[in-house]
Amino acid sequence: MPGELKVPRPRAEAGNECAYIEATPDSVWTLVSDLEGMGRFSPENTGGKWTSGKPGIVGAKFIGTNKHGLIRWSTRCTVIEVVDGQKFSFEVDDSKTR
């Protein structure tokens, strides 16, 4: 379907799962690159706050906030790749997790 986007959903156990979203890639991009609103789509992430650099640009830094049950933690992250409308990638500074 035109404008259909296949999005993998996070899972704690092994395996894959997908969701089909009836939306244009640009409208989905707007949602997934919204740092403060990321928590709306994640079972652990509760959002984040930009700390340095221009938001959404390679090299920008932010603190991500997370929770799992009663446990809460934050991560310091750096944006490592941005392709408008296609890719927003960041690395957790401490563990180098992507």
The pTM of the whole model exceeds 0.85: no
Provide the pLDDT for residue 3: 54
How would you write the pLDDT of the chain (98 residues) with one tens digit per residue? 455 555 555 544 455 566 777 888 888 888 878 888 888 888 888 999 999 999 989 999 999 999 999 999 999 999 999 998 888 889 988 765 55
Provide the pLDDT for residue 72: 92
Distances (CA, A) of 12 to 16, 26, 68, 87: 10, 28, 12, 23
Provide the pLDDT for residue 88: 86
73: tokens are: 């933690």
